[in-house]
C-alpha cells in the first residue's frame, strides 16, 4: 500500500483534466445564466388571450349566456373574479358588446381598463402593417351564444376586445 501512494506518475495529467472540467462547467453555467436573463419574452398576447378565455368562460355556460349578464346591475369584475386594481392602470383592458341575431344591442357594453388602450387597439387592429413595440397586444373576437328571452331560446353573439400592455412586472389580472 505504501508503494502505491508513492507512485504519482499520472497526477499532472489528472489535475489538468480536472481543471479543464471546472472551466467548461463554469463557462456552461455562465452562458446559460446570461442566455436566460437576456431573453426578451413578451407575454402580452398570451395575457390578452387568457383574459378573453377567462371572460368568455365566466359569461357563458354550455353555450348559453348567463341570465344575470343581461341585468343592468351585473358586475363583471365580481362574477369573473377579475382584480379591479389591475384594470385601474394602463396594463389590461376589456370591452364587451352583446348583440342579438338582428345586430341590436342586448345590453350596454361592459368595459374595464383605460379607454386609451381601446383607441390604441383600434389603430393596431385596423392596420396589420403596424408593429408598435410599446403598444398593447390586442385580441378582438366574436363568440356566439344562446340566451332566454320571454321563455324562448334566441341566438346572439358578443364581441370581446381584450388587451394587455403589461411589460414584465408581476401584476395578476385575476384575484388569487
User: pLDDT tens across 123-142, in order?
Assistant: 887 777 677 777 888 899 99
Does the pTM surpass 0.85? The reply is: no
Q: What percent of the chain has pLDDT over 70?
A: 85
Helical (H) or strand (E) element with 98? strand 92-100
Beta strand pairing call for 137-149 and 152-164: antiparallel
Residue-wise over 131-159: b if at least 16 C-beta within 10 A, else e? eeeebbbbbbeebebebeeeeeeeebbbe
CB contact at 8 A, 112 and 87: yes
- Going by pLDDT thresholds of 50, 70 and 90, the confidence category of residue 6 is low
Pairwise CA distance, residues 88 & 112, whole Å: 8
Per-residue confidence (pLDDT) for residue 119, from 0 to 100: 87
Q: What is the pLDDT of residue 126?
A: 75
Q: Is the pLDDT of residue 115 over 70?
A: yes
Q: Is the pLDDT of residue 103 over 70?
A: yes
Q: Is the pLDDT of residue 58 over 90?
A: yes
**Do residues 165 and 90 touch, judged by C-beta distance below 8 A?**
yes
pLDDT for the residue numbered 61: 92
| pLDDT of 19 strictly over 80 | yes
Most confident of the ranges 41-45, 60-64, 129-133, 164-168: 60-64
Residue 64: predicted pLDDT? 93
Amino acid at each position: 500500500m505504501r508503494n502505491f501512494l508513492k507512485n504519482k506518475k499520472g497526477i499532472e495529467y489528472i489535475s489538468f483534466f480536472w481543471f479543464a472540467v471546472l472551466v467548461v462547467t463554469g463557462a456552461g453555467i455562465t452562458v446559460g445564466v446570461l442566455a436566460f436573463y437576456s431573453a426578451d419574452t413578451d407575454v402580452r398576447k398570451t395575457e390578452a388571450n387568457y383574459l378573453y378565455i377567462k371572460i368568455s368562460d365566466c359569461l357563458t355556460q354550455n353555450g348559453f349566456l348567463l341570465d344575470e349578464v343581461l341585468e343592468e346591475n351585473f358586475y363583471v369584475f365580481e362574477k369573473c373574479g377579475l382584480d379591479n386594481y389591475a384594470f385601474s392602470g394602463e396594463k389590461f383592458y376589456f370591452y364587451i358588446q352583446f348583440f342579438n341575431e338582428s345586430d341590436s344591442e342586448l345590453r350596454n357594453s361592459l368595459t374595464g381598463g383605460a379607454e386609451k388602450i381601446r383607441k390604441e387597439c383600434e389603430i393596431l387592429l385596423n392596420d396589420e402593417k403596424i408593429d408598435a413595440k410599446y403598444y398593447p397586444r390586442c385580441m378582438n373576437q366574436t363568440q356566439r351564444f344562446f340566451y332566454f328571452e320571454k321563455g324562448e331560446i334566441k341566438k346572439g353573439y358578443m364581441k370581446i376586445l381584450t388587451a394587455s400592455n403589461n411589460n414584465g412586472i408581476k401584476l395578476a389580472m385575476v384575484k388569487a
